[in-house]
Each structure stands twice: as structure tokens, then as C-alpha cells.
Structure 1
Amino acid sequence: MYYIISSLITIRFRKHISRNDKTASALVVLLFLAVALICYSKFNEIGLYFYLLFLDPILYQQKRNDLELLKIRKNYKWILFVEYIIYTFPYLIVLIIKQKYYGLILVLMVNFIVIHIPKLQMKNIKYPFDLFNPHWHITFRNYKIILWFPLLLVLSFMGIKHQNPNIQNFVLLIIAIIICIPSFERERIEEIKYHSNNSKNYLKSQFINSLINTSFIIVPIAVFILFNTFNLLISSLILVVYVLPLVNIISKYAFFHHPIKQQLFLVFMIVSLGIPILSLPFLLNKALKNLNEIKNVENRN
């Protein structure tokens, strides 16, 4: 079982985890277990939002490129089904412990249906994003992120209709996480090394790029939410949507050679309600130091 789980993690996160990196694989497993444990302890407060965790296999199915290779095997659909069960196993255990058997059956049925339907074929959409960081375009196309927004608008409308501000808060949190996705992608070292900007200006340009592109996404949704329901907490969360990607950019360059640490930092910050933000001055200094090392520059700034 250990070999199977380790192999699946290595294959899925091959861009971030080197082969036979047992420490990184263990961290990923611990992350899944930690999320499941938190959801178990806060199950009543989370409610139906818990089932959003089961969207992971669906999104992974849409963006994976090895399906044609798997189709060589006659039982490839069952292989996919078991693989997705393993990915969501900690969350399935939570449903079993909480005796949510109907939810468990529904999740299994959805997974079974997903592997039997063809991948969505979407034409390239022209996004209005600033091109300083091309990963905005790349990630939105590769992960088909645009498909999330109709669902988020429906959730937002439900929150307004039922006068439930928690739904609006949840929608804004999901948008903040979505906007962080481009900053998980890394440039090639050569792109940073030979860029005309020094480290400080390069990081500043990344911040400006994030603010501009974030505005394209959040402003229409924020106007819709605030026009229908206004309170101070929602207004504060809109600011969080802008701040969280900036923090993720800092952690990206602070942990440039360790993507898993960057991901764990973001998860820890969200779960702990932003406590790690106190370490930002240290991370900012480390980010600039790493950029300087990549550029082979000392004391240039």
C-alpha cells in the first residue's frame, strides 16, 4: 500500500516532487490527513462545503494527459476509480465516521460517472490578464478555471437569497485560493536571471501584475455581492482576496526550490487565520535573497 500511495503521489506531483523523495511524499500525505482531521473536528460548521473537497478528482481528470496511455489496459477505468478513491480516502473515512452514507454513495457514484465521460474540449479563451506573468493565462487554460465561476456565482446568489453571509465569505475565500494558483507556477531560472529588472523591481512587478489581474476577476463579483448585501466582514474579505496572492508570491520566491513548503505555508496560513503573516518580513527578505542568488547579484539593491 505504501508503494502504491508513494507512486501515485510522485506521478501526480511530479513537477514538484522528485522521484524517491520520501519526505515530500510524506508531507503530502500528512497534508491530506490534516485537512481530513480539521474537517472532522469542524464538520458541523463546514456542512455541505465539505463535499467540495471531492471536486479534486474531477478537476484532476480534466487536466491529466496520461489517459490515452492508460487506455491501453482494458480495466483502465477501474484503475482510475481506485486511484481517485485513494486520493479522497481520508475524506471518505470522515463521511463513514459521521455516518453520512448517502453522501458517501453520492461521491462514489460521481467518481464512477466522471471516469466514463469524455474530457471537456474547450476553445482557448482570450483572458484580459497582464502578460508580465504568463502563468495567469497558462493556469486558467490548463486547469479550466473559468468553469468554477458560474458555480461561484450560483453560490453567491444562494447566499443573497437566503441571507447567509457565510456563503459569500466562502465564495470570496475560494476566489482568493483560485487567484493564488498562478503564483504556484515557477518561471525558468533563465527567465529570472536575464530579466532586465533587479530583484526588488522584479518582485514589485509581480505584485503589480497580481493586483491588476486580481481586479479583473474580483471587481465584477465584488460589485455583485456588495450591491445585494453589504457588511464590514465581506468588505474586509475582498481585501484578503487581494492580499493572499501577494503573500503567496512572497512565499513562492522564499521557497523557490521547495514548492511543497510554499503550498504548506498557504494552507497553514488559511487554517490558522493568517497567523503566519507575522513572518512576512523574514519571508520577503528571504525571497529577495533567493532572487539575488538566481541573478548572481550581491548587494545590488
Structure 2
Amino acid sequence: MKIIRTLFLIRLRRLVAKDDLLAMFFVIMAFLLIPFFLNSVFDKIKNYLLFFTLEVLVYHTNRKDLELLKLNKNYKFILFAEYFIYTLPYVILFLVNKEYLLGFIFAALLLLFINLPKINNSKMSYPFSLFDPFWHISFRKNKLIVVIPVIVFLFIMGEKSGNENLKIASLLLTGVVATFSSFNRESIEHIKSSFYLSKHYLIQQIIANLKNTLIISFPILLCIILFRNWDLLLFAPLLFLLPVLNILFKYTFFENTFMHQIAFVASIGTIYFGTPFIIAPFLYKKSLTFIKNAQNA
């Protein structure tokens, strides 16, 4: 219990300052109030709560203390207990609403993550286009490859339960993963020294990202074909729209990463109204102007 308490405090201190007890109190209270606020809409979001296990997966695969924890013979129990504490609000929701199967799947995913073999990304060779090296960097640094099997699992679960929204969410999540590399920025010197000028440089960036997106989308597209969900192919363009849109945002707000992130999230939040399609020509023009100015400076 001391080890689990220490691990919990270490993670809590990543969110707030070490001695900021008031901030820690508010974080814990917000954590405990999650079931209260989500319970009223539980029937609508119950399947989506499984997505919160992805945060545990990313955290687990990026841990630096696993080798030290393995010195304890009960290290797997310690890890499970730690992750169980992080996800306790969602487990409580499943139990209160008598969704025991979803609660079991939730716990099973935590056990699966703990027992996943360690992936040595430094030795993995990704088939991504090197025109945008940040794809390799993002996948190696954040171990994004482990998210792909989880996305496929969620799609299959949506197929078995007849939940179309879960399958659509799997498609969108794949598109979100494809945007990760575009939040990184190459140096201005790299843009200046490129053989491709303005328009061609931007087009090459878009083409490289479309190729790489197709590679990571292959498993989910294969699932659509195998399960004959032909209607879901209508949503497939969203897989490629998101990374292209994020590239345009990157060069439009190249010198302001905060505005880049805010604008991208806002556009995705209003995708129902067609906002990305309306602003895409404007973003394209702004991106070209920035690249041209950078190369002529």
C-alpha cells in the first residue's frame, strides 16, 4: 500500500506543484465527482467510457520505473491496483448501473495492458514516408503503435454489440492518431533549404501525411470490409481530413502552437456544421503565404 500511495502521489505531482496541497485537493475532488456528473448521461456514453483505458495504456508504455517495480514479486498486482485507483470513478459507474460486463471488460483491458510485452520502439521500423520525419518520432516517443490494436478491438466490440457509434468513434480515433505528428514543427531552416518551393512543399507534406494515414488506417478499413459495413465507408474520408486539416493549421499558426491547438479542437468540435470545409481554403492560402515568406526571408 505504501508503494501504491507513493506512485499515486508521483503521478499527482505531474499535474500540480509538489507542495501545492490546495491544487492537489481540487484535482482529487474533481476526480471523485466524475461519477456524479456522468451518471445522468450514462446510458448514452457507457460504451465510450472504455476509451479512458487508452490514457492508462499510454501512461503504462511510457513509464520509466517498470524495471525497478519488477524487483517486487507482486509488481503486477501493484500496477493493477494503481491503475484501478486511477479508473475507479468509471468502475463505480459500471457497478452502480449494473453494467457488469462492461466493468469486466474495463478491468480486463487494464490486465491486458500490464501484461503487454515491452515494445522497443528504437528497433522498430515504421513504413512511414520520411518526408515528414515526425511520424517516426511521434510513434516512437509516444508508442502510438499500441493504440492501433485497441482501436480494432473497440471496432469489433461495436460490431458484436451492434453499436454503430462505437465503430464511428474508432474511425475518428484513428484520424486523431494521424494528427499527432502535425503538432510538431520542423525548423525554419528546414523549410528554407527544401528543394520544394511554397505550394509544392505544402503539397508534399499533405501527400506524405495521406500516405502515412492510409498505413495506420489499413487495420480499421480492413475491419469495415471484413464485416461488410459498407455504410461506414462514408465516414472514411474523415480519417484523411483530420491530418490534412491539422497540417494547414500548423503552417497557419506556425509561430503560435497554443492557437494551433485551440483552433484545431474548435474546428473538430464544430465539424457537424461543416466548419473544416468552410475554412480549409482560407487555411490553405495562409499556409502557402507563410511558407513562401519563410523561404524568401
Question: Under a length normalisation based on structure 2, what TM-score does the superposition of the two structures give?
Answer: 0.67
Asked if structure 2 preserves the Cα contact closer than 8 Å seen for 1:39 and 1:50, the reply is no
Match of 1:122 in 2: 120
Cα distance in 2 for partners of 1:289, 1:269 equals 21
User: Alpha carbons of 1:118 and 1:225: their partners in 2 closer, same or farther (altered >3 Å)?
Assistant: closer
How far apart are residue 235 of structure 1 and its match?
A: 1.0
Residue of structure 2 equivalent to 1:45: 44
Alpha carbons of structure 1 residues 223 and 204: separation in structure 2 relative to 1, 3 Å: same
Secondary structure at 1:131 match in 2? coil
* Aligned residue identity for 2:285: N
2:170 corresponds to:
171
RMSD over aligned CA atoms reads: 4.3
Name the structure 1 match of 2:73. none
Secondary structure of the residue that 2:152 maps to in structure 1? helix
Counterpart-to-counterpart distance in 1, 2:170 and 2:259:
26
What is aligned with 2:194? Answer: 195
1:81-230 correspondence to structure 2 within 5 Å: 120-123=118-121, 124-230=123-229
In the other structure, the counterpart of 2:242 is: 244
1:62 maps to which residue? 61
| Corresponding residue number in structure 1 for 2:295 | 295
Q: CA deviation at 1:43?
A: 4.8
Whether contact under 8 Å (1:168, 1:225) holds in the other structure is: no
* Deviation digits for residues 139-186 of structure 1 (CA, Å, limit 9, x no counterpart): 111111111122222222222223322221111011000111111111
How far apart, in 2, do the equivalents of 1:201 and 1:9 lie?
A: 42
Counterpart residue number, 2:72: none
* Residues 78-100 of structure 1, C-alpha deviations (whole Å, 9 max, x = no match): xxx8xx97xx9xx969x89xx78
Q: Which amino acid aligns with 1:291?
A: I
Q: 1:272 is aligned with what amino acid?
A: T
The structural deviation recorded for 1:253 is 0.7
Separation in 1, partners of 2:56, 2:159: 29
The share of aligned pairs that are identical, in percent, is: 29
What secondary structure does 2:46 align onto?
helix
Work out the CA distance in 2 between the residues paired with 1:140 and 1:129.
10
Assess, with a 3 A threshold, how the Cα gap between structure 1 residues 154 and 247 changes in structure 2: closer, same or farther. same
Unaligned runs of 5+ in 2: 1-12, 18-26, 70-77
SS for the counterpart of 1:196 is: coil
User: Following TM superposition, by how much is the alpha carbon of 1:126 offset from its aligned partner in structure 2, in angstroms?
Assistant: 1.1
CA offset at residue 58 of structure 1? 4.5
Task: Give the distance between the partners of 2:39 and 2:206, measured in 1 at CA.
Answer: 36
Is the counterpart of residue 280 in structure 1 residue 280 in structure 2? yes
Answer yes or no: is the 8 Å Cα contact 1:62–1:119 preserved in 2: no
2:55 maps to amino acid: D
Distance 1:177 1:203, change over 3 A: same
Structure 2 match to 1:14? none
Paired with 1:102 and 1:43, the residues of 2 have a C-alpha distance of 10
Q: Which structure would you say has the larger Rg?
A: 2
Q: Which amino acid aligns with 1:213?
A: N
Q: What's the TM-score once normalised by structure 1's chain length? A: 0.66
1:220 deviates by 3.8
C-alpha displacement at 1:226, in angstroms?
A: 2.6
For 2:141, the aligned partner's letter is N
Kept in 1: contact 2:47–2:166 (CA 8 A): no
Aligned to 1:26: none
Query: 1:50 offset after TM fit, Å?
Result: 3.0
- 2:8 is aligned to none
2:117 and 2:261 map into 1 onto residues whose CA distance is 27
Distance (Å, rounded) in 2 between the aligned partners of 1:178 and 1:255: 20
The correspondence of residues 14-25 of structure 1 with structure 2, limited to 5 A, is none
Distance in 2 (CA, whole Å) between partners of 1:231 and 1:238 is 10
Shift of the 252–40 alpha-carbon distance from structure 1 to 2, 3 Å rule, reads farther
